[in-house]
Structure 1
Amino acid sequence: MRDVARRAGVSHQTVSRVLNGHPSLRAETRDRVLAAMDELSFRPNRAARALVTSRSTTIGVLVGKGFEYGPAASLQAIDSAAREAGYAVDVAHLDAMDAGSIRSALDRLLAHGVDGLVILAPQMQALGEIGRLSISLPFVTVHSPRAQGDHRLSMDQSGGAALATRHLLELGHRRIVHVAGPDGWFETEARVRGYCGEMEAWGCDPELQLSGDWTAESGYRAGLALAKDRGVTAVFSSNDQMALGLLHAFREAGRRVPEDVSVVGFDDVPEAAHYWPPLTTVRQDFPELGRRCVARLLALIGEARAGTDADPAGTPQDVVPELVVRASTAKAPA
């Protein structure tokens, strides 16, 4: 910092104010200091700053076992939002869902002096174990049940599933099968609720295929079984990867999509627009989820430092997904 101060022709304290974003500095002074930092390849030492300020400006993220598209996209969004807010991200991946593995991962993050935690473990078992631990730091959970209260942020998974199901019902389909995700996942249960609720609201019987595991292979196996039932005219898949397997199975079995059977996915993975046919799906706004997650956590960190229970961030709201209609859905065959 003293080298930067000499190069910029300012005091050591001025460099410190630039690093801390002090509002009282003139723009030209700040630009001169930043230019000197670039010339000298100066990088602030986070460890040293943490010793002085008792703040690491680091967010810990606990990530559940597995790395499906939804959690992966959520982690990327959280990382981007944290960097925009001036925070680094320290990630700990769970090797298993038991209490010992979860505690070990949490202990590692706490040992690094993180200012707050994001828990990105949508498996119900992991959330149950975490709920039994005493977490003293501010934290938020992502893709978790409403029981997590003000610490919870999520997509409106049930609402997204209802959107997908309603789209098929409006096209005249009545025998709509849902290929759900694996048991024990928050997203699986929420999407099943949304599908069943919409089917029942239209006076139709829900039909579930609870055999998926998020992979295209499991969707393919489900599709081979469904292709034998000519009465099924539409399928709502709990994610796009399983929908890819469904498209493969239906084509192999001679069932045309969408002429004979319509298919809707969930997530809108980057490749979904290039499936054949291009996949109708539910798009999740992961960047917005990341922004809300980081904003919520920083608000909780601020409350903890101020020693108050006030809630300046308000009650967190679910991010609303949207339906993206492509060529894999059409009116029900006569």
Structure 2
Amino acid sequence: MNARRPSLADVARRAAVSTQTVSRVANGRTNVDAATRERVQQAMAELGYRPNRAARALKAGRFHAIGVITSYLTSFGMMRTLDEIVQAASAAGYSITLLPITATSGGVSGAIDRLSEQAVDGIIVTVEPHLLEGAEVTLPGDVPIVVVNTGAGTGLNLVDSDQEGGARLATRHLLDLGHAAVWHLAGPGESASAAHRTRGWAATLREAGLEPPPVLTGDWTAESGYRHGRGLAGRRDVTAVFAANDQLALGLIQALHEAGRAVPDEVSVVGFDDTPESPYFWPPLTTVRQDFTEIGRTAIALLLQQLEAPDPAPGRERLIPTSLVVRQSTAAPPRSVFHVT
């Protein structure tokens, strides 16, 4: 049979103080003199007393726990972001309850309902925005929520990379090298991230007085990039391609190599994400770097800010800047495509 756990009253008797004094020491209050505090702490140590954190949480109305809903567990970027969310939460004294879901709005709604009924102080949602637009998804008004993704509508606290800005950097880089056209391998149509990147690419071309070529839609995979790359490889007018992620770029480069199109001598390729493998592509990939660590850190900071000072009308958006990492997959277009007059 397990022995009875020592209680607050047991500590009070051992230290010859009131239970109120023990409570003050256990909760870190400062209105206890040093000698008394030391005596109470010694009694706690001798008895093996541990404060009942669940009871303290109920009393304080704070559980020091954060729920995270995600459907991205296979994504490089989201794994990096989740890692930072866990570390930043831990540094702030919070634990994480992770709820992986299927990519449906019903899955999001059910996960939010489950977490709302559990002992969490706030929720971070990392799913595609279109999953939050379903009629059955109701966000609770009494639990702060931060969404990691732009394009999720108004009235929400949002954190994401500057997806459109990153696409502009990639497209402008290729134009500055002298390419007369930049093709685009896009992500899936339902992806908000893909839409932002396509928008930035198209806007940059139009601002330069160029009509964007037809968008080629993929599914984030290297196999999808390879499939579209086989078609692009046969077009001699294609000298520059911006791929919506590094995996699409990888498949594209393989297809170009197989068709005898040299990268970057004949075709320049830019990716997006700066995955750990991108410096080891052949050639090493020029790509847009997202600061996934800062995204996770900002998501936690925004949630904690809501916990400390609840905003009755949330709707703040934090865009984390992206940057271009130039490697050896981009160069000026081949001289044969220059139009000399």
TM-score (norm 2): 0.81
Q: Is the 8 A contact 1:141 1:148 kept in 2?
A: no
Map of 2:134 onto structure 1:
129
Map of 1:321 onto structure 2:
322
Label 1:316 to 1:183 Cα distance change in 2 as closer, same or farther (>3 A).
Answer: closer
Deviation at 1:120, TM superposition (A): 0.7
Match of 1:273 among 258, 272, 279: 279
1:227-242 matches, within 5 Å, as: 227-242=233-248
Label 1:77 to 1:129 Cα distance change in 2 as closer, same or farther (>3 A).
Answer: farther
Q: Which amino acid in structure 2 is aligned with residue 281 of structure 1?
A: T
1:296 aligns to what SS in structure 2? helix
Query: What is the rounded CA distance, in whole Å, between the counterparts of 1:231 and 1:24 in structure 2?
Result: 79
Q: Is the 8 A contact 1:178 1:238 kept in 2?
A: yes
5+ residue gaps, structure 2: 336-341
Structure of greater Rg: 2
Query: What is the rounded CA distance, in whole Å, between the counterparts of 1:294 and 1:165 in structure 2?
Result: 32
**Matched residues, number:** 316
Deviation at 1:131, TM superposition (A): 8.5
Q: Is the 8 A contact 1:215 1:241 kept in 2?
A: yes
5+ residue gaps, structure 1: none
Query: What is the rounded CA distance, in whole Å, between the counterparts of 1:129 and 1:254 in structure 2?
Result: 47
Aligned-residue CA RMSD (Å):
3.3
Which stretch shows the higher mean deviation, 72-81 or 247-256? 72-81
1:16-38 CA-partner distances (Å, limit 9, x unpaired): 345x9x79999xx99xx8xx99x
Label 1:115 to 1:327 Cα distance change in 2 as closer, same or farther (>3 A).
Answer: same
Match of 1:159 among 153, 158, 165: 165
Q: Is the 8 A contact 2:108 2:137 kept in 1?
A: no
Q: Is the 8 A contact 1:82 1:89 kept in 2?
A: yes
Q: Which amino acid in structure 2 is aligned with residue 16 of structure 1?
A: A
1:117 aligns to what SS in structure 2? strand
Deviation at 1:123, TM superposition (A): 4.4
Match of 1:94 among 79, 88, 101: 101
1:235 aligns to what SS in structure 2? strand
Q: Is the 8 A contact 1:120 1:141 kept in 2?
A: yes
Label 1:56 to 1:130 Cα distance change in 2 as closer, same or farther (>3 A).
Answer: farther
Q: Which amino acid in structure 2 is aligned with residue 71 of structure 1?
A: M
2:320 aligns to what SS in structure 1? coil
Match of 1:57 among 50, 60, 64: 64
Deviation at 1:210, TM superposition (A): 3.2
1:317 aligns to what SS in structure 2? strand
Q: Is the 8 A contact 1:303 1:309 kept in 2?
A: no
Match of 1:246 among 225, 246, 252: 252
Query: What is the rounded CA distance, in whole Å, between the counterparts of 1:24 and 1:255 in structure 2?
Result: 77
Identity of aligned residues (%): 42
Map of 1:204 onto structure 2:
210
Query: What is the rounded CA distance, in whole Å, between the counterparts of 1:258 and 1:198 in structure 2?
Result: 21
1:222-264 CA-partner distances (Å, limit 9, x unpaired): 1111101111001100001111111111111111111010000
1:30-52 CA-partner distances (Å, limit 9, x unpaired): 9xx8xx99xx9999775454334
